[in-house]
A = this chain, B = another copy of it.
Amino acid sequence: MSVTRRVVLAGSTLALANPFGDKVLAQGTSTMSNASSQAPGFYRYKVGDIEVTAINDGFAKRPLEGFVKNAELSQVQDAMKEAFLSPEALSITFTTLVLNRNGRLTLIDTGNGDLGAPTSGTWMANFRAAGFDPAQVDTVVISHFHGDHINGLRLKDGTAVFPKAEVMVPATEWAFWMEDARMNQAPEAMKGGFQNVRRVFAPIAKDVKRYEADKEVVPGLTAIAIPGHTPGHTSFMLSSGGGKLIVMSDVTNHPALFVRNPDWSAVFDMDADLARLSRHRMLDLAASERAQVAFYHAPFPATGYIGKEGGRFRFVPVQWSAAVL
């Protein structure tokens, strides 16, 4: 299957600039602004000498219908029931990471900014509640160019959110999305994705640093090329002292669906076959190493482990700890 054909298929199912924008269910925000709100959505844990802070950016609700390309709705509903989730709609959550290494701050991905579903966009409040300031951020590492990962870099009005930060992106992802010829040949439904990448990156194009796979992006953080979800989709291995964290990015969408059923393909996977191979490879790695993992779309705090029994994977969330361990 050619890249173009893949793109057409992906583009026909969603607008990639904001994959959640079109299909978000009607969702009041009144509960979000009540006096009775949740505690701020951040959670800290240690990976060796690096303190990781997971920052939640809210959620977007999607109907299940049409979400998994190669499974019957009833099968998807059964998987939701097994996880005690609603068989009607999926709450897809967004959780980015802050790495604090001796006071140097690196973000991995940035959330929806002010361009996501009305129930998202809580990233900045949670980031500040965790004691951080966007002006302190030294580096922003981007895993791939979907809107829910990059839109936090730049507000709708054009403002750069992290004025001091060096922005680092996968070289392969940059080459794919920034090629004008490819954008011009893309179907209408796909053009928004290309345009959004330009909206975010064009003003800083000369300063964006393109990183290669299998190299350290920042100290302790090594990029893993794991394409399929997008052409340059990247996971990371974070290592420090004896600690290790596999940052999965979008190797799976919601674990209840795609860790349990790694052969299923979400509509967001641009090359479903390649994404499936990548998913098996990363889940096998995590299970065999018993390494801690972080998933962008796992329920907050979006970190845990991958078990494998009887040939099936399962995601085991960490036990919440009052102490930062």
Contact = CB atoms under 8 A, between A and B. Distances in A.
A42 to B, nearest CB: 5
A301 B322 contact: no
Contact of A305 (B42, B84, B318, B321): B84
A82 B307 contact: yes
B51 A307 contact: no
A128 interface: no
Contact of A322 (B44, B59, B84, B307): B59
Nearest to A28: B323
A18 interface: no
A84 B316 contact: yes
Interface string A293-325: 000000111001101000000001111111111
A130 B36 CA distance: 8
Contact of A131 (B36, B58, B59, B131): B36
A112 interface: no
Nearest to A325: B31
A285 interface: no
A323 B39 contact: no
A119 interface: yes
Contacts of A84: 290, 304-305, 307, 316, 318
A119 B323 CA distance: 8
Interface in A1-60: 31-32, 34-44, 51, 56, 58-59
Nearest to A84: B305
B300 A38 contact: no
A39 B316 contact: no
A110 interface: no
A239 interface: no
Contacts of A129: 39
B122 A322 contact: yes
Contact of A324 (B34, B119, B130, B318): B34
A169 B324 CA distance: 35
Given A83-B316, A84-B305, A290-B84, A321 B43 contact: no
Contacts of A208: none
Contacts of A85: 319
Interface of A: 31-32, 34-44, 51, 56, 58-59, 82-85, 91, 93, 100, 119, 122, 129-131, 290, 299-301, 304-305, 307, 316-325
10 contacts: A34-B324, A36-B324, A39-B129, A56-B320, A58-B322, A84-B318, A91-B319, A93-B320, A93-B322, A300-B320
- 6 smallest CB-CB distances across A and B, nearest first, come from A84-B305, A299-B319, A300-B320, A39-B39, A31-B323, A39-B40
